[in-house]
Amino acid sequence: MALATVDQATGDRPAPRRRTGFAGQLQAGSGLGLGIAVLWFSLLVLLPLAAVVVTASEGGWSAFWAAVTTEQTAAAIRLTVGTAAVVTAVNAVVGPAIAWVLVRDEFRGKRLLELLIDIPFALPTVVAGLVLLSLYGVDSPVAIEVANTRGAVVLAYLFVTLPFVVRTVQPVLEELDPEVEEAAASLGASRVTTFRRIVLPALIPAIAAGGALSFARGVSEYGSLVLLSGNLPFRTEVTSVRILSSIENDNLPAAAAIATVLLAISLAVIVILDVIQRRAVRRG
């Protein structure tokens, strides 16, 4: 039981991800279950992803490099990574603000805002594109027309990545005791100081974790751009669209090479997430 109490003590602070706790050894039945689960996971996820990397490397380094550095592909990768970075920076500011309003503010209709946050996660991406097009497309009622411009890519990324930072910061903010902030204020700390010294340090790991997810999602986005961005080469064509046109031209090695770049970015993001969270759990 000692193990369980230790785990509960550290469990007071919600670590955004799984920790290992009180684990038992595998028995015959659970061992078989693990075998089946890993086999299925390998056939569905690992083997296909390995096939992408292997196909990309079949032509050697020079073929890989040639495929990912054609002018059009390089422009697409730059646009994708640059826009995802900008959108993640926006989310790192807007996300905690939304989470703060949801946790600390009280007003009628707040539940509706909660629903709005989750809609981009559940809405089919192609429908998300159509949704944005109806307000920001041709004949925009607000006279902001971004269809077929780089603004469309920013808008689509902002839409699909909306929930990530909000939903990672929110539980941390809920656990944060307002009394600590009140104590700081009563000791003469200004609002800015209280925010900077008390609130922000507690939120940083969650913001980083949510930001990493939002960056990864932005970089890999495809569906919401199909109708919205026009996919103009050198202007609004993102990496996923480049991969798809290589597939449609039956040039699978080139598609695999560009896909490998995206996979490397995803993997880097997962590693960063893991490091941030380990650090957060240790500190807690």
Question: Footprint of another protein on residues 148-167 (CB under 8 A)?
Answer: 158-159, 162
- 87, 153, 206, 243: residue in contact with another protein (rule CB under 8 A): 243
Q: Which of residues 60-89 bind another protein (CB under 8 A)?
A: none
What is the pattern of x (binds another protein, CB under 8 A) and - over residues 16-55? --xxxxxxxxxx-xx--xx-xxx-xx--xxxxxx-xx--x
- 216, 236, 276, 280: residue in contact with another protein (rule CB under 8 A): 216
Per CB under 8 A, 183 contacts another protein: no
Q: Name the nearest CA neighbour of 262 among 83, 81, 62, 121.
A: 81
Q: Which of residues 258-277 bind another protein (CB under 8 A)?
A: 259, 262-263, 266-267, 269-271, 274
Contact 177/241 with Cβ under 8 angstroms? no
Q: What is the DSSP string of 136-198?
A: HSTT-TTS---TTSHHHHHHHHHHHHHHHHHHHHHHHHHHS-HHHHHHHHHTT--HHHHIIII
What is the phi/psi pair of residue 166, to 5°? -55, -50
Q: How far is CA 122 from the centre of its chain?
A: 14
Per CB under 8 A, 143 contacts another protein: no
Of 82 and 178, CB closest to another protein? 178
For 23, which DSSP code? P
CA-angle at 32, arms to 31 and 37, nearest 5°: 100
Q: Which of residues 86-125 bind another protein (CB under 8 A)?
A: 94, 97-98, 100-107, 110-111, 113-125
Q: One-letter amino acid identity for 75? A: A
- Classify the C-alpha dihedral 102-103-106-111 as positive or negative: positive
Q: Which of residues 3-22 bind another protein (CB under 8 A)?
A: 4, 7-8, 11, 14, 18-22
- 217, 231, 236, 237: residue in contact with another protein (rule CB under 8 A): 217
Question: Which of these segments, 59-67, 68-76, 198-206, 238-246, binds another protein (CB under 8 A)?
Answer: 238-246
Per CB under 8 A, 194 contacts another protein: no
